[in-house]
Amino acid sequence: MSIIKVAFFGSKNESKDFDPARDIQPLTGRVILITGAAGDLGRQTAIDLARHGRPAQIVIADLPRDAAGVEAALSAIRTALPPDTASTVRLDFLPIDLSSFASIRSAASAFLSLSSNRLDILILNAGIMPVSHGVTSDGYEKVFGVNYLGHALLTRLLLPTLQSTTSMNQDVRIVIVASEGHAMAPKGGIVFDTLKTEAKKLNHFRRYGQSKVALIAFAKELAQRYPDIKTAAIHPGRISTGLSTELVQKSWIIRLTGPISRFVVTTVELGARNQVWAATSADVVSGRYYVPVGVVDEKTVVERDQGLAGRLWEWTEGELKGVDKI
């Protein structure tokens, strides 16, 4: 039922009045890392934060590409900025494949050598929703491995830097891009015994939903364990982006809902707003999950099952033991 509801109608909510041009306070001196920032929502998030906050540096972390591809990703951001901003905000490209522990570890080391020993805002934005089944190079269900576990490892590797940054800036944040797709997860939210398999019994909606439940749970648990860092999970809204390319080709339900979906999709500019809000607004309460823009949503399995976030944290600690230090 949830799959049909979300696929056909999306979710509609009252929104906070948030205008990046008016509401983003200066981010002077700050260092920001955004995963998946060569993609649509990540790129727009980088543009909004650079244009209106003028941080010292934004690191665009995305799948490795050749020199022309790196330049294309950076110039898509640079050319959207006024010339004086483009010359003051340093942009770097950080290659990372979130489906590989080895790649995540080398990206974290490379980030530490790129940046000035600080990380003020970490935005976990990259994501996939493939129709096909598969596992990551470390043997985890592909969608869960990229969307959740890869991000969990990256976060653990960068936590010492995030924590030490609080001595320079008390407003250090982690923003986690989840999805209303959490409602499509299998019963219970996370089926732990599928996580090291291809999860053949779960269709793409269920696998995507499971990974997004995990991200909402991750935000909740991070907020409890690291109260000096403000953490929020968000749903961006429904936007036509690179995320749906494979779905449009292979999923009958998406093709069926195509004519309707144009009435519920929004623009990339509006779609990036909730994560930009979560990265900058003083109203953010750590550990919560927000739908656009800035509206708390407690109707998730993570709230219904108060033990889920803790169980996921324990499971993750076990899986990442030995790889979560540089």
Ligand X SMILES: NC(=O)c1ccc[n+]([C@@H]2O[C@H](COP(=O)([O-])OP(=O)(O)OC[C@H]3O[C@@H](n4cnc5c(N)ncnc54)[C@H](OP(=O)(O)O)[C@@H]3O)[C@@H](O)[C@H]2O)c1
Q: Which is nearer to ligand X, 30 or 43 (CB)?
A: 43
Tokens representing residue 166 in the block: 């609080």
Does 40 bind ligand X (CB under 6 A)? Our answer is: yes
Could you list the beta-strand ranges (E) of 180-278.
230-234
Report the C-alpha gap between 98 and 159 in whole angstroms. 17
Q: Which is nearer to ligand X, 20 or 42 (CB)?
A: 42
The residues in 146-165 that bind ligand X, with binding defined as CB under 6 A, are 146
> Which is nearest to 60 in space by CA: 79, 82, 76, 81?
76
| Angle, CA 64 vertex, CA 63 and CA 66 arms, to 5° | 135
Instruction: Point out the catalytic residue in the list 140, 142, 148, 208.
Output: 208
The residues in 162-181 that bind ligand X, with binding defined as CB under 6 A, are 177, 179
Span interacting with ligand X, options 17-25, 126-134, 158-166, 294-302, rule CB under 6 A: 126-134
Q: Give the count of beta carbons closer than 10 Å to the beta carbon of residue 215.
A: 25
Q: Which is nearer to ligand X, 9 or 310 (CB)?
A: 9
Among 50, 119, 128, 174, binds ligand X (CB under 6 A): 128
Among 26, 134, 160, 242, binds ligand X (CB under 6 A): 242
Among 63, 80, 114, 264, binds ligand X (CB under 6 A): 63
Beta-carbon-side half-sphere exposure of residue 258 (alpha carbons within 13 Å): 11
Q: Which is nearer to ligand X, 132 or 170 (CB)?
A: 132
Does 98 bind ligand X (CB under 6 A)? Our answer is: yes
Tokens representing residue 156 in the block: 């653990």
Among 184, 243, 302, 308, binds ligand X (CB under 6 A): 243
> Which is nearest to 161 in space by CA: 210, 119, 190?
119
The residues in 258-287 that bind ligand X, with binding defined as CB under 6 A, are none
> Which is nearest to 126 in space by CA: 58, 246, 40?
40
Does 209 bind ligand X (CB under 6 A)? Our answer is: no
Span interacting with ligand X, options 156-164, 241-249, 289-297, 310-318, rule CB under 6 A: 241-249
In one-letter notation, the amino acid at residue 229 is I
Answer yes or no: 212 catalytic: yes
Among 7, 77, 99, 219, binds ligand X (CB under 6 A): 99
Answer yes or no: 5 catalytic: no
Report the C-alpha gap between 38 and 27 in whole angstroms. 21
Tokens representing residue 313 in the block: 């944290």
Give Cα 193 distance to the centre of its chain: 24
Contact predicate 100/137, CB 8 Å? yes
Q: Which residues bind ligand X (CB under 6 A)?
A: 35-36, 38-42, 62-63, 96-99, 125-128, 146, 177, 179, 235-236, 238-239, 241-243
Catalytic residues: 208, 212
